[in-house]
């Protein structure tokens, strides 16, 4: 079966092992058809690791959010890889994979792979995936492209950098292909006797050839298959910046701090240039706040969101969270960003009291509680 990635907005992003965690008598499960499997930068065993992975889905037609996803790895392939690597270890040879110190005599009795849905876009799903027999640092992204019914597997570059949290990548559409972008801080290095960190963008795309070796390009700590980009931030960019929301329009990529503002760059620059110029856009007037992401108030995402809607319009939605305001008078407010002027225009503002009096609200029997987690 083919499974549209838009169905992957799941209640539970955890992806269990199909063999060990799913009742095989449960109806509705089917394997996801893949016309093509690709691997990049996975070392000598890349083709085997990619070939070993299989995805399963159980669709919930009436309630898509209740659909489920599972994964499994071919035990025969895993057994062959482990046996070969253990032989190298016994012969004191350099290993191609960091094998964990686990007893594999009973490999059929343990789960071979674990995964988690990191991103579910319109026609793309990105999973983070770990093989149980490898080091915890060796993880992969698994990309499922619903349009081409293809899967790509690439290593996550967490061995050479600190990926900013949340660590889910930003999918970027470029022509008929997809790219993944990570914001990261390179590990400290010495310059003039002082320890220094630099911000980097990590870019993966099948459109570009593998990057040159590390010593021929500065800085390129990630190695194949990740390309590096050096962001150039404007001076008004805050010293501390949280990546609450990541999204794209047809021409730009955005990283939003829902308490301060949003950083954006052109997708073309990401793909074509080493140095990437960013603009910083402050939140609408009166929306900057130090009271969110606080244990007393709650996470910023509980009251705000930002994204790209119909017509490539960038929207910011904010819910009142000031407890000194009467509950009925709290509001949900929408703002629209003009990409030509980089200015916000205030749109609809709806009082909670007005919301609760709407006919549709009453007809559906919804409780008169404060709305949270706008989307």
Indicate whether 123 and 207 sit together in one domain: no
Indicate whether 147 and 57 sit together in one domain: yes
Of 132, 156, 180, which residue is a domain's last? Answer: 156
Indicate whether 353 belongs to any domain. Answer: no
Task: Give the integer Cα–Cα distance in Å for 213 and 227.
Answer: 11
Indicate whether 136 belongs to any domain. Answer: yes
The pLDDT value given to residue 319: 95
Task: Give the integer Cα–Cα distance in Å for 343 and 335.
Answer: 10
The pLDDT value given to residue 8: 47
Q: Judge contact between 32 and 144, C-beta under 8 A.
A: yes
Indicate whether 55 and 139 sit together in one domain: yes
Instruction: Give strand pairing partners of 15.
Output: 115
What band does 94 get if pLDDT is binned at 50, 70 and 90? low
Statement: residue 317 has pLDDT above 50:
yes
Indicate whether 162 and 150 sit together in one domain: no
Indicate whether 197 and 149 sit together in one domain: no
Indicate whether 14 and 145 sit together in one domain: yes
Indicate whether 67 and 210 sit together in one domain: no
The listed range with the strongest mean pLDDT (87-101, 215-229, 279-293) is 279-293
Tokens 């017509």, residue located? 311
pLDDT tens-place string over residues 338-374: 999 999 999 999 999 999 999 888 888 888 889 999 9
3-state secondary structure of 18: helix
| Number of independent structural domains in the chain | 2
The pLDDT value given to residue 147: 83
pLDDT tens-place string over residues 221-241: 445 688 889 999 999 999 889
Indicate whether 305 belongs to any domain. Answer: no
The pLDDT value given to residue 135: 65
Task: Give the integer Cα–Cα distance in Å for 352 and 358.
Answer: 10
Of 232, 251, 270, which residue is a domain's last? Answer: 232
What band does 42 get if pLDDT is binned at 50, 70 and 90? low
Instruction: Give strand pairing partners of 280.
Output: 263
Indicate whether 102 belongs to any domain. Answer: yes
Indicate whether 337 belongs to any domain. Answer: no
pLDDT tens-place string over residues 111-166: 678 899 998 877 788 999 988 777 666 788 999 988 888 888 888 887 667 788 77
Statement: residue 34 has pLDDT above 80:
yes
The pLDDT value given to residue 190: 60
Q: Judge contact between 207 and 173, C-beta under 8 A.
A: no
Indicate whether 67 belongs to any domain. Answer: yes
The Cβ of residue 365 has, within 10 Å, a number of other Cβ atoms equal to: 6
Assigned token pair, 168: 């889910």
Indicate whether 260 belongs to any domain. Answer: no
Instruction: Give strand pairing partners of 323.
Output: none
Indicate whether 121 and 222 sit together in one domain: no
Indicate whether 310 belongs to any domain. Answer: no
Indicate whether 97 and 221 sit together in one domain: no
Average pLDDT of every residue of the chain: 82
Indicate whether 2 and 21 sit together in one domain: yes
Indicate whether 181 and 130 sit together in one domain: no
Indicate whether 17 and 111 sit together in one domain: yes
What band does 375 get if pLDDT is binned at 50, 70 and 90? confident
> Containing domain of residue 129, as a range?
1-156
Of 232, 262, 289, which residue is a domain's last? Answer: 232
What is the arithmetic mean of pLDDT over 26-38?
86
% of the chain residues with pLDDT over 70? 80
């Amino acid at each position: 079966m083919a499974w549209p990635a838009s169905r992957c907005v799941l209640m539970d992003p955890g992806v269990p092992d199909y063999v060990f965690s799913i009742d095989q008598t449960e109806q509705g499960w089917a394997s996801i058809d893949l016309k093509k499997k690709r691997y990049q930068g996975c070392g000598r065993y890349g083709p085997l690791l990619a070939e070993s992975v299989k995805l399963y889905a159980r669709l919930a037609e009436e309630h898509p959010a209740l659909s489920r996803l599972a994964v499994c790895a071919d035990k025969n392939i895993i057994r062959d890889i482990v046996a070969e690597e253990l032989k190298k270890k016994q012969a004191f040879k350099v290993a191609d994979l960091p094998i964990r110190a686990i007893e594999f005599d009973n490999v059929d009795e343990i789960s071979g792979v674990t995964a988690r849905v990191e991103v579910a876009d319109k026609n793309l799903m990105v999973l983070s995936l770990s093989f149980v027999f490898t080091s915890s640092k060796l993880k992969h992204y698994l990309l499922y492209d619903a349009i081409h019914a293809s899967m790509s597997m690439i290593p996550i570059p967490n061995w050479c950098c600190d990926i900013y949290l949340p660590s889910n990548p930003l999918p970027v559409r470029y022509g008929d292909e997809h790219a993944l972008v990570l914001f990261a801080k390179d590990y400290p290095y010495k310059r003039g006797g002082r320890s220094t960190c630099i911000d980097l963008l990590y870019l993966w795309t099948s459109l570009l050839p593998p990057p040159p070796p590390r010593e021929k390009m500065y800085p390129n700590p990630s190695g194949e298959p990740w390309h590096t980009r050096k962001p150039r931030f404007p001076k008004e960019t805050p010293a501390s910046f949280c990546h609450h929301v990541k999204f794209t329009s047809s021409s730009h990529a955005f990283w939003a701090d829902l308490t301060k503002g949003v950083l954006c760059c052109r997708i073309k620059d990401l793909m074509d240039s080493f140095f990437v110029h960013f603009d910083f856009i402050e939140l609408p007037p009166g929306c900057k706040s130090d009271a969110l992401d606080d244990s007393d108030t709650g996470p910023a995402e509980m009251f705000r969101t930002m994204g790209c809607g119909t017509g490539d319009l960038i929207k910011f939605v904010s819910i009142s969270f000031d407890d000194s305001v009467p509950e009925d008078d709290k509001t949900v407010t929408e703002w629209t960003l003009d990409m030509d002027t980089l200015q916000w225009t205030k749109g609809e503002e709806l009082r909670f009291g007005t919301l609760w009096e709407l006919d549709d609200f009453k007809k559906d029997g919804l409780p008169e509680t404060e709305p949270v987690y706008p989307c």
